[in-house]
Structure 1
Amino acid sequence: MHNSWMLRRRELLGLAAGMAAAGALPGCLSRSTRESNAGTLDARTFTAERRFLKTRFGRIAYVERGSGPAALFLHGFPLNSFQWRGALERLSPDRRCVAPDFMGLGYTEVADGQDVSPASQVEMLVALLEGLSLPSVDVVANDSGGAVAQLLVTRHPERVRTLLLTNCDVESECPPPAVLPVIDMARDGTYVDAWLTPWLADKPLARSEVGIGGMTYSHPSQPTDEAIEYYFAPLVRSPRGKAWVHAYTLGLEKNALAGIEPALKRCRVPARIVWGMADTIFSPSSADYLDRTLGNSRGVRRVEGAKLFFPEEYPDLIAEEARRLWGVASR
């Protein structure tokens, strides 16, 4: 796995260098791709619904839809809350859905000098919940957001009613080996310009085997042009944005879940695991680890052919599993 990412890194760096030598990276293409998760919120609507909550951590960007008991959606790296647009639209009739952008990613405006490690992200979320008058939430999480979710449920169990985890870090894979080259690049200050900037400029490259699409999405049409723009534009277009991405990435280097297993075993929060079995970042065996470790696991659903960011591609499946965990009748 590690060697595969190193090879992809070399290929992409070589491609980016070649384009730079030719004069410039390609501009944004007009090609439109068809959403595999049709019927989801578009970027214009999502942007219009974005809100900010001022906290000591900075101005936290989030999107909120629906009413009733609250659900909190935690995105992956290097994405933002737009990852959950399909799930929010489907689940807003059942829950007050809140999807924040983590510090260092998306549109959250981080306070100067703020730590953005997973532990600090947990405390930011607690401040967000307090600011929104949400005593407890149903948590749905993916990727590095899943590590934050595990910290949240063990450190603040009163805040979490249920926990739905998709492919994410576990104690033995935090970070997973595949992410180590990205951390190395972040330490050198090269990650954004080596990977994210070329992907933003050349959408087909982003969907290729050496791009985020081939690495982490199941369908070759993903992520769409719109999603690529929404995810990467705020990260690459200012020195401050780049610095925060690198800070977030370096925050993944230390195992944030070290020693968490006893607390997970004591956890009585109802939990469900939904795992993409074609993921090359997190091991399929990690789903079984969570199932036998979480004290109140409701089992594992394995999704054949699905890679890391499948929750974005299969919002109907996420909605189905969430409603089942929440005890809400299917629609």
Structure 2
Amino acid sequence: MMRREFIRDAFGFATASLMAEAAYGAVVQKPGKFSGSSSGAPPMAASSTIDVAEFHRMRQFADLPMGRIAYVERGHGPVALFLHGFPLNGYQWRGALERLSGHRRCIAADFMGLGYSEVAADADVSSAAQVKMLAALLDHLKIDEVDLVANDSGGMIAQLFGVHHGSRVRSLLITNCDVDTNSPPPAFLPVINLAKQPGVADKFVAPQLADKNFARTDKGIGVAYTHPAQLTDATIDCYFAPLVSSAARKEQFSRYLLGFDANPLVPIREELKAFNKPTRIVWATADVFFGVEWAEWLDRTLPGSCGVRRLEDTKLFFPEEMPEVIAEEAVKLWGV
């Protein structure tokens, strides 16, 4: 199988958790407001750039029962909440925040166990705990309702959040992620199994921090990017440094991975069929984890689906390299 060959040939377990490329693709969608590839609105100019230094400067913390949850925000008005993938953090959404902060108060939080959120060494970092954390964060910030934008494992959490806190969701823009029985995807199982042994953070993260050129190869995080040479040292540090910053963080990283072992989505299948908020699905077709058939499953299952946009020859983390696509689709979905 292609997936097994991919895992074997590209840094073993490391590549199984980090897939992305980016290119502009075709559109497959239901008739209606998304029937064209352009919103008709003038192009959105990016606001001031969010580089790593700016991302660190913007960071705020919410003191919640779960710990100090890191988040960044930009803009004003109705809130859009961005949910990042594994093993990234809110920095994944910097380009989207630049482009969409003129339309929304954009918030990107770091999940517990990833990024810069600070929680107890033995904190629950499961998907169910992440949903509770997000609800607590919104309570803390006095936010009643959000537009969700999600990728990868963040998409799984978005589905759980939509089922358990549907009244707080105004719309959902969802990209490649776990769906129904494809959670965890078969190609990701070697990573989860490795986390059952000691030292997964030292084996997966530390080598890429020590040798950034190695990180840019197809045996490291570079396999996730169309243009890995453009992946800066600072970006690699931003994603990976916090994961190995202490023994406790390394342990949390391991437990975060183990949390993927059980499928949380099949139990909510029937409830998901009742999630009728406007939903746009944007899917990379060359992703080895989340095939386009799962976008089609979501399209059939979610009564509020506005259709599927396919991005040909792209992979999992396209939102980072193609923030203009996220911005275009969000503006159409939000009707602004």
Q: Residues 310, 260 of structure 1: CA spacing in aligned structure 2 closer, same or farther, 3 A cutoff?
A: same
- Aligned residue for 1:99? 108
- Aligned residue for 1:6? 8
1:283 deviation in Å?
1.3
Within a 5 Å distance, the mapping from 1:129-140 to structure 2 comes to 129-140=138-149
1:220 aligns with 2:228: yes
Amino acid across the alignment from 2:163: T
Q: Residues 185, 40 of structure 1: CA spacing in aligned structure 2 closer, same or farther, 3 A cutoff?
A: farther
Note the alpha carbon deviations across 1:30-71, whole angstroms, 9 max, x for none: xxxxxxx99741011110010000011110000011110000
- Aligned residue for 2:279? 271
Q: Which has the higher contact order (CA 8 A, sep 6+)?
A: 2
Q: TM-score, normalised by structure 1?
A: 0.88
Amino acid across the alignment from 1:233: A
Q: Give 3-state SS (helix, strand or coil) of 1:187's partner.
A: coil
Q: Residues 57, 284 of structure 1: CA spacing in aligned structure 2 closer, same or farther, 3 A cutoff?
A: same
1:326 deviation in Å?
0.3
Note the alpha carbon deviations across 1:51-104, whole angstroms, 9 max, x for none: 000011110000011110000000000000000001011111110111000000
1: distance between equivalents of 2:180 and 2:230? 29
- Aligned residue for 1:251? 259
- Aligned residue for 1:114? 123
2: distance between equivalents of 1:40 and 1:284? 32
1:311 deviation in Å?
0.1
Amino acid across the alignment from 2:314: A
1: distance between equivalents of 2:169 and 2:12? 42
1:258 deviation in Å?
1.8
Within a 5 Å distance, the mapping from 1:1-331 to structure 2 comes to 1-10=3-12, 40-214=49-223, 216-221=224-229, 223-328=231-336
1:268 deviation in Å?
1.0
Q: Give 3-state SS (helix, strand or coil) of 1:275's partner.
A: strand
Percent identity (aligned): 54
1:300 deviation in Å?
0.5
1: distance between equivalents of 2:286 and 2:48? 25
2: distance between equivalents of 1:110 and 1:11? 26
Unaligned runs of 5+ in 2: 16-45
2: distance between equivalents of 1:52 and 1:7? 40
2: distance between equivalents of 1:249 and 1:173? 16
1:324 deviation in Å?
0.5
1:284 deviation in Å?
1.8
Q: Give 3-state SS (helix, strand or coil) of 2:287's partner.
A: coil
1:196 deviation in Å?
1.0
- 8 Å CA contact 2:121–2:249 kept in 1: the answer is no
Amino acid across the alignment from 1:289: W
Amino acid across the alignment from 2:87: P
Q: Give 3-state SS (helix, strand or coil) of 2:151's partner.
A: strand
Amino acid across the alignment from 2:222: G
1:10 deviation in Å?
4.6
Which has the larger displacement, 301-310 or 217-226? 217-226
1: distance between equivalents of 2:181 and 2:100? 32
- 8 Å CA contact 2:13–2:191 kept in 1: the answer is no
2: distance between equivalents of 1:213 and 1:55? 35
Q: Give 3-state SS (helix, strand or coil) of 1:61's partner.
A: strand
- Aligned residue for 2:23? none
Q: Residues 63, 283 of structure 1: CA spacing in aligned structure 2 closer, same or farther, 3 A cutoff?
A: same
Unaligned runs of 5+ in 1: 14-36
Note the alpha carbon deviations across 1:3-25, whole angstroms, 9 max, x for none: 42134345979xxxxxxxxxxxx
- 8 Å CA contact 1:217–1:306 kept in 2: the answer is no
- 8 Å CA contact 1:217–1:308 kept in 2: the answer is no
- 8 Å CA contact 1:136–1:160 kept in 2: the answer is yes
- 8 Å CA contact 2:122–2:252 kept in 1: the answer is no
